[in-house]
Chain A
Amino acid sequence: MNGNAKKYERGDYIRLIVVILITIIMLFPIYWMVMTALKPMDEWLKYPPVWFSLKPTLNNFKSLMGFADAARSVMKEGATNASWAFLKGFYICTSATILSIVSGTLAAYSISRYRIGGNFLPLFILSARMFPPIAVALPLIVMYSTINAVDTYWGLIVAYTGFTLPFSVWMMKSFIDEVPRELEEAGIMEGMSNFQAFRKVTIPLVKTGIMVTTLFIFILNWSEFIIALTLSCMKLETVPVFLATLFSSTAGWLYGPQAALGVLAVIPVIIFGYMIQEDLARGFTFGALKR
């Protein structure tokens, strides 16, 4: 921050140069995505490639979201636009996140305070994350088709909730473990019931933890692709599923809109990701690594 206060040695500047070079290489794919999203149609496949477009346009974004007039749109006529995918995806992800966080917090409290299920239950919950989701998705389709849940909102929301439970349970457990037990015991001594002690003592103390876990689980749901791909056919479209439809051979090659959708899809994730950046390691390691 205040460069004057610190004295840097020459080695530190060499280090800086090395880090700048690595950063440029590592951020190049992101730069290329943003650049492609801004390119007009004739520059998408030009060879040699256009490294920096001199005539940037927002046409890709407009036709992707369905705002461009038909004559200038690069999308095929009659193609659905991405606005719906964003709305539907947002609805599905938010509902699934809320369900997952509520049931996950309750279970985490039970596991943390009462050691319910011993070592088995937490690891059993965790096992939902250990094998490829498609292994469960196939029998799930069979089950869903008998109860008419394929391509319904609640079906996908329930599936999303189940697949993020390991994270919400383990992360919330790590946050609740940090709250001293004695506080709740004091509350119970004062005449609170068990549930009141949980609601009025523990919940306010782990509020930040709940926020962090919520954002983390929203990111996971927003990025999820394979379950949405298998459990939806026409009606439901999350953003990744819509991106995959742009790749199908019937849509032709839509490099610009693909990149534009990539940029738009990533914006909420990047914002939330940087908001919880200090707790990301905790999230991905199921709460094992604290800051």
Chain B
Amino acid sequence: MNSAEVLTSKLVKADTERSLLRKLIDKIPFAVWLIVPVECFLLFLLIVPSSISIWLSFVDWQPTYGIPIYKATFVGFENFIDLFADKRFTMALLRTFLITGVAVSAELLIGLGLAVLCDKEFPMRKFFVLCLLMPMMLIPLVVGNNFFLLFQTTGPINDIIGIIIGHDFRLNWLSSPDYAMLPILLAEIWHWYPLMFLIMLSGLRALPPNQLRAAEVLGSGRLQTFFRIKIPQLVPVILIAIVIRCMEVFKMFDEVFILTKGGPGNVTETISVWMYKTGLKDFRFSYVSAGAWIILIVCVIIFTLLLKPLLYKVEKFEEGGSAS
């Protein structure tokens, strides 16, 4: 009897609690409930670390000091001032911009060239397109490993060069200050030209054929058709591909880490490698946080400004394309 009473009281309590929960669920709109998990992840992974990072960039703190992070001495903008005077940092930043520019333009040219080549039908076209896409399917670290094997002193690249110039050629590519950048650039380009190729190829093949035929009938040459009709229609697609590739190349780390670790000296250091080495090898957390904020603000502003119109414009462009 007693236990039954307890049970009923529990049930009644559970019922009121449940209805409270119901009320809460009903009170907050359905759309907001849906984004709760994502918001939690963002809070945990972006907002909390960002606040820690802001604090770190204005104090002088290293894990090796042995004091808790909130007791660190406040130094104001000293970290930032030091950074702008730090040649290693500015050089790494410039180098990263340079790598991004070179790699993305090379990828664009190779991708566009191959797409034009594979646009028209030829025997086994589909098979070769799939073969040419293969590098994209690899893991960045494995790509680094591949080029590490290729560019060994006794590797096949040196052998081929030796055959071409007619005598023994043994250059240690990865530890030569003048040439160490080349394997890294080649690895990056080789890994990602297929994405450009894929995007360009699907863009070219989606062009409305009646327009091309009209141009042909009106007597435009092949080159003229290409530059006057095909390219202008591809521009939105090309732009979005370029911006997204720039975003990814700017973060380049894996290939450099495997191939040279930023060396010899600092001649192949990208900004990610700089952050890794200064932060996790020298433990200068505050200094790196300040650097990270500079990069973060620059990246987010540039890429948001570039991407926002593109992401919405391409949508419109595709809607317009399907309507016509």
Contacts and interface: CB of A to CB of B under 8 A. Distances in A.
Interface of A: 3, 6, 8, 12-13, 15-16, 18-20, 22-23, 26-27, 29-30, 32-33, 36, 45-49, 51, 102-104, 106-107, 109-111, 113-114, 116-117, 119, 121, 123-136, 138-140, 142-143, 158-159, 161-163, 165, 169, 194-195, 222-223, 225-226, 230, 239-240, 243-244, 247, 255, 258-259, 262, 265-266, 269-270, 273-274, 277, 280-281, 284-286, 288-291
B132 A22 contact: yes
Given A26-B132, A27-B134, A289-B240, 9 more contacts: A22-B132, A32-B156, A126-B304, A128-B42, A136-B49, A138-B275, A138-B279, A159-B45, A255-B149
Interface residues of B, number: 97
A141 B227 CA distance: 51
A132 B295 contact: yes
A132 B156 contact: no
Residue in A20, A111, A139, A163 whose Cβ sees the most chain B Cβ within 10 Å: A139
Given A103-B41, A273-B136, A288-B314, A15 B122 contact: yes
B299 A131 contact: yes
Given A109-B34, A284-B244, A119 B308 contact: yes
Interface string B272-287: 1001100110000100
16 contacts: A13-B123, A23-B128, A23-B131, A26-B134, A30-B134, A30-B135, A49-B159, A123-B308, A131-B300, A132-B292, A134-B272, A142-B49, A169-B38, A277-B133, A281-B195, A289-B203
A138 B143 CA distance: 25
Contacts of B170: 47
B33 to A, nearest CB: 8
Nearest 4 A-B pairs (CB), nearest first?
Answer: A103-B37, A162-B45, A114-B31, A273-B137
Nearest to A26: B132
Contact of A110 (B34, B63, B143, B311): B34
Contact of A289 (B134, B154, B159, B202): B202
B44 interface: yes
A19 B31 contact: no
Contact of A136 (B45, B133, B147, B307): B45
Contact of A13 (B34, B63, B122, B154): B122
Interface in B120-145: 120-124, 128, 130-143, 145
Contacts of A33: 142, 145-146, 149
A190 to B, nearest CB: 17
Given A106-B38, A281-B202, A130 B53 contact: no
